[in-house]
Chain A
Amino acid sequence: MLTRLLLATALGALAAGTALAQTPVKIGVLNDRSGVYADLSGEGSVVAARMAVEDFKAADKGLKVEIVSADHQNKPDVGASLARQWYDRDGVDAIFDVPTSSVALAVAQVSREKNKAFIDSGAGTADLTGPQCAPTTVHWTYDTVALANGTGSAMVKRGGDTWYFLTADYAFGQALQRDTTAVVTKNGGKVVGSVKTPFPTSDFSSFLLQAQASKAKVIGLANAGGDTINAIKQAAEFGITEGGQALAGLLIFSSDVHALTPKVAQGLVFTEPFYWDLNDGTRAFSDRFAKLSGGKKPTAVQAGVYASVLHYLKAVEALKESGDGTKVVAKMKELPTDDPLFGKGTIRPDGRKIHDMYLFEVKKPGESKNPWDLYKTLATIPAAEAFRPLNEGNCPLVAKN
């Protein structure tokens, strides 16, 4: 009896406590800290998340936000068990970033099971808003279909109508090639050939020679990370771009281009949703970001973490709760998005965040004034055209509607 009384008092005190206190929100930034995506996401994403919390003025709005972070080591089982532990044990309400497709899909699965919000920025797989979409998932920054789409159509429109692919020989590379091929042919271009390169490959000279011999106007790099960097470096060595062929990167980020330097990467064309030097909003954010991260400018993925945390907090503020992932994500879809980095946008029913994409070209060394002065904008791809149409993704959430 006594214990029951005590328990009731304690519970009552607890309930009163929460009513008085601010709504606690705990968000987890789960990404790669040590592997191939560490520069792309890594600590920078945590910095971006902190900046978002700061800019949202969470405390003034009755939210008490706490950020935790961890390294998933690019292993899906590590990612999945960390996500489970965060949800089950540590009271995390939402997970952000998560590069590496295999880990992202695993975390999406866990989040759906635990009914928690999962807002991905770092992963490329379009399956997150396709067959494996979930009412708890938002895919913020980019996906491979959008990149293929943007680069494929824009290049053909600019006269690059014959293509040759260097395709990393696994599902990801083949998907990139397939999606780009579809766009290229739809726009009246032609694919004259392709070569499957083992993954990973350090020496591309042989494949570049085959691409050179094909006389295609555009060489599409359907690969990622170190493979892409090696291919671009060696293309410069073999005088591919000087010979009149254009290199099109299908998955490359500013951290890669920065590492390559304009001298090597000049003339490379690719699609990205963000560049630090786009407008005043992006410049102001990027300068602040650079001060906090040793002079590095943010990548699109890190910018995506910032914008998505901001929008997430808006939804939580509107709902006054953060525990029910489906509800929060539904609210996120309902509210229009607006932030200084991606501008105005929306989140579709399949979880796909929609915003403009840009076709960039890497500057020539003469044009680049400092190590981060990397891109010039060739074209803006309007949000409506940039992503895979809603009805083509085979997302069960859409089929129901």
Chain B
Amino acid sequence: MAHSAAAADAAPIATTGLPESRDARALHRRVFIGIAVMLVVLPFVLYPVFLMKVLCFALFALAFNLLLGYGGLLSFGHAAYFGMASYLCAYAAKTWGVTPEIAVVIGTVTAALLGLVFGALAIRRQGIYFSMITLALAQMVFFFSLQAKFTGGEDGIQAVPRGHLFGVISLADDRVLYVLVAVIFFAGLALIYRIIHSPFGQVLKAIRDNEPRAISLGYRANQYKLAVFVLSATLAGLAGSTKAIVFQLASLTDVHWSMSGEVVLMTLVGGMGTVFGPILGAFVIIAMENYLAQFGAWVTIIQGVVFVVCVLLFREGIVGLFARLLKKPL
């Protein structure tokens, strides 16, 4: 029943909570191979630019899910790291003329630093307050981006050169760029998988499930939370920077709070707290945005319906559902 103290005994965010067995590891290995195969095959079937967009958002959603699904922290302001990184990367590539990999690094580092500052402020509070602080901080980033000179206001930063990777390989061809984006995505995914299954990840899960107990066991919960926050912001920044190179632009859309909402939607649809869910969620949402574009105003309505249906019927998301059917965590 609903009362203010209910938060503690309310059902936690839907995670499968299934035990991690050797069996599951084998399954994960197969899923990884499956993803790798898809990365190679799909560009021959689907439009590469569309795929690159999906990969950028999938990485963004994975980063977000690291914080939500494994840190138990719902950030409602993740657009700040995604968007700010995208701005800095675009600016570096365009104005300073650095090579794309340096630009991506600059963007990612920006997101990491921003994450460090915002994280330090936000993790001092819990639950809904945490969400609200992240939202407020992201709003400030939005207003900063709107007014700062270098972001180009409403026009955004346009005509960002894709440039030459390491100063050698031209990225002008979509297929070449696709390879780079796929590699970044896969590396990001592997890193996140590593983090989740490392001792660090185990402690995180312990804190998520029962913070006082974790503290009494001698873990400094806040340091763990800050670390996962920064990691999540950094990876979101990596996704944002990559997107800036792919689309050759950075704009206010990426720092707006509706972007923060969109990444929540992706994670929710795919399955919160599942390793692979956000990838599928990103695919579904971006495909909707892309292929429903001809239906005009119905896009947001359909998104809304997906939200409602997911919350009411599919709380575990698509991958969460599979995981339950397979009785193995995914």
Contact = CB atoms under 8 A, between A and B. Distances in A.
A and B touch in the complex (CB under 8 A): yes
Interface of A: 33-34, 38, 42-43, 68-78, 80-82, 84-85, 88-89, 100-102, 105-106, 109, 125, 127, 132, 169-172, 174, 198-199
B155 A172 contact: yes
Interface stretch (B30-38, B186-194, B287-295): B287-295
A82 B253 contact: no
Interface in B34-51: 47, 49-50
B252 A102 contact: yes
Given A77-B249, A101-B154, 18 more contacts: A33-B297, A34-B299, A38-B296, A68-B294, A71-B293, A75-B253, A76-B156, A77-B254, A84-B47, A85-B47, A85-B49, A102-B155, A102-B156, A102-B252, A106-B248, A170-B146, A171-B155, A198-B143
Q: In this complex, which of B155, B253, B290 has the most chain A Cβ atoms within 10 angstroms of its Cβ? A: B155
Given A76-B249, A77-B53, A80-B247, A171 B153 contact: yes
Contacts of B143: 198
What is the interface residue range for chain B against chain A? 20 to 34
Contacts of B253: 74-77, 102
Contact of B296 (A34, A89, A172): A34
A199 B293 CA distance: 27
B107 to A, nearest CB: 15
Interface in B271-330: 289-290, 293-297, 299-300
Contact of B297 (A68, A71, A84, A102): A71
Contacts of B299: 34, 71, 73
A130 to B, nearest CB: 11
B293 A78 contact: yes
B300 A84 contact: no
A372 to B, nearest CB: 23
A76 B151 CA distance: 14
Contacts of B49: 81, 84-85, 88
Interface string B137-152: 0000001001101001
Contacts of A43: 296
25 contacts: A71-B294, A73-B289, A73-B293, A76-B247, A77-B53, A77-B243, A77-B251, A78-B289, A78-B290, A78-B293, A81-B49, A81-B247, A84-B47, A88-B47, A101-B154, A105-B156, A106-B248, A106-B251, A109-B158, A132-B159, A170-B147, A170-B153, A171-B152, A171-B153, A174-B153
A356 B322 CA distance: 63
Interface string B183-225: 0000000000000000000000000000000000000000000
A174 B148 CA distance: 12
B326 to A, nearest CB: 34
Contacts of A85: 47, 49-50, 290
A102 B293 contact: no
Contacts of B251: 75-77, 102, 106
Contact of A105 (B155, B296, B297): B155
B147 to A, nearest CB: 6
A121 B273 CA distance: 46
A74 B249 CA distance: 14
Q: In this complex, which of B243, B253, B254 has the most chain A Cβ atoms within 10 angstroms of its Cβ? A: B253
Given A71-B297, A82-B290, A89-B47, A106 B153 contact: no
A101 B158 CA distance: 10
Contacts, number: 110
A100 B297 CA distance: 16
Contacts of A127: 155
A361 to B, nearest CB: 28
A172 B153 contact: yes
Contacts of A71: 293-297, 299
A139 to B, nearest CB: 14
Interface of B: 47, 49-50, 53, 143, 146-147, 149, 152-156, 158-159, 174, 243, 247-249, 251-254, 289-290, 293-297, 299-300
A171 B296 contact: no
Contacts of B300: 34
A76 B147 CA distance: 18
Contacts of A69: 294
Contacts of B295: 71
Contact of A77 (B146, B153, B247, B296): B247
Nearest to B298: A34
Contacts of A109: 158-159, 248-249
Contacts of B159: 105, 109, 132
Contacts of A73: 289, 293, 299
B158 A106 contact: yes
A33 B249 CA distance: 22
Q: Which 10 A-B pairs have the closest CB atoms?
A: A171-B153, A33-B296, A34-B297, A170-B153, A70-B293, A105-B158, A102-B156, A75-B253, A76-B251, A172-B154
Contacts of A75: 251, 253
B84 to A, nearest CB: 16
Nearest to A84: B49
A251 to B, nearest CB: 12
A172 B251 CA distance: 14
B9 to A, nearest CB: 40
Nearest to A38: B297
A110 B70 CA distance: 40
Nearest to A200: B146
B154 A171 contact: yes
A88 B53 CA distance: 16
Nearest to A90: B47
A88 B48 CA distance: 10
Nearest to B162: A113
A345 B147 CA distance: 37
A75 B83 CA distance: 13
Contacts of A84: 47, 49
Contact of A81 (B50, B155, B252): B50
Contacts of B249: 76-77, 80, 102, 105-106, 109
Nearest to B289: A78
Contacts of B254: 77
Contacts of A42: 296
Q: In this complex, which of B47, B159, B293 has the most chain A Cβ atoms within 10 angstroms of its Cβ? A: B293
